[in-house]
Amino acid sequence: MTVRKAWLVLAGLLLLLPASSGAGPAQRVVVLCSPNPAWCDAIKEEFPKATGIGLDYVRLSSGEGLARLRAERRNPSFDVWFGGTGDPHMVAFEEGLTEAYRPRSWNDLRPELREAVAGKYIPLYAGILGWALNERVLRERNAPVPRTWKDLADPRYRGLVAYPNPNTSGTGYTMLATLVQLYGEREAFDLLKQIHRNVAEYTRSGAAPGQLTGRGEVAVGITFIHDAVDQVLKGFPISYGAPRDGTGYEIGGLSLVKGGPNRAAAITFIEWALTPEAQRLGPEKGQSYQIPSNSKTPIPPVAPRFEAFRVIKYDFVKYGSAAVRDRLVKRWTDEVFPLPK
């Protein structure tokens, strides 16, 4: 074969490569993903199908996500923050780690959620704080089903409670801020110190206490109720509820990371994530049963409803400020966590 023919053959092969190589999408978005890992997997699978843009994610709980964004302030690796409790999203906005973005579907989002977050992030869903209960373990330990937060201070629950660490978990911080709003800071910390004696494990994530309860390792797992619902649907022998003296809730966040490497792809992702089609992925593939933010998205039949529980008027702006959040978490870390049990 002559040199000329060889080059012609090579050129023809190169022209065929794009069609036969199976290469993925050229554009990509990098997501800091804080909900149930199954939901993160679902968006990774479905977003490229809908848009032709690839998606990579790192799964971090809300507190860990905020710490990562703070550490990467000068050189962000993420483009968008998907899910997780709203308080860290508020802090991220206040500190300039994320930026305001008004999606096309803004007016379709539930107005009570939009008003509560004061434009500092985009509401993605709402979920109610409560607990998972293993009544078999309670009976074995001769402990009653708890009715209020103060019940958890009873010595009969010694070693029977799991609670997410507020340093890493947005769920844990939501409980901390809820008790402060219910009782005032002094009484709330006195109560947390009493509950501490009964805690078998402080978990890194908010869903983990429900998992421990389902396995019978504890009797009371403080968690968002939708995470307890997930355990029930998986067949674990637990029930769920919320304290009768009042409980808080989350407005899960969706935020555009400031200075992220793929801003255009991030905006495409945000617009897609708020559509009913994308929000259905939570319950259908993501094992997540919150109330979706888009009023056009059907609420999952098993999603806990606000009217079924005594939910406080949670002050997202105050308890999502960096000064308040960091101070409360530090106080818990200094005064509660080190106490002997």
DSSP 290-320: -EESBTTSPPPTTSPPGGGS-B----HHHHT
β-strand 122-133 against 291-292: which pairing, if any? antiparallel
Instruction: Pick one of 3.20.20.10, 3.90.380.10, 3.90.600.10, 3.40.190.10 as the CATH number of 128-248+327-335.
Output: 3.40.190.10
Token pair listed for 109: 């989002």
Taking the domains of the chain in order of start, what are their residue ranges? 28-127+249-304, 128-248+327-335
The pLDDT assigned to 11 comes to 40
Distance of CA 166 to the CA centre of its chain: 13
Q: Has this prediction a pTM greater than 0.85?
A: yes
The pLDDT assigned to 335 comes to 98
Contact 301, 283 (CB under 8 A): no
Contact 125, 36 (CB under 8 A): no
Across the chain, which has 341 residues, the per-10-residue mean pLDDT values are: 42 37 67 97 98 98 97 98 97 97 98 96 98 98 97 98 97 98 98 98 97 98 97 97 97 98 98 98 97 98 97 97 98 98 89
Q: Do 28-127+249-304 and 128-248+327-335 come out as alike in CATH topology?
A: yes
The pLDDT assigned to 7 comes to 43
Residue with tokens 């790192």: 58
The pLDDT assigned to 339 comes to 98
Residue 115: its H or E element: helix 111-117
The pLDDT assigned to 4 comes to 46
Instruction: Pick one of 3.40.640.10, 3.20.20.80, 3.40.190.10, 1.10.3720.10 as the CATH number of 28-127+249-304.
Output: 3.40.190.10
The pLDDT assigned to 270 comes to 98
Residue with tokens 């302030």: 73
The pLDDT assigned to 16 comes to 36
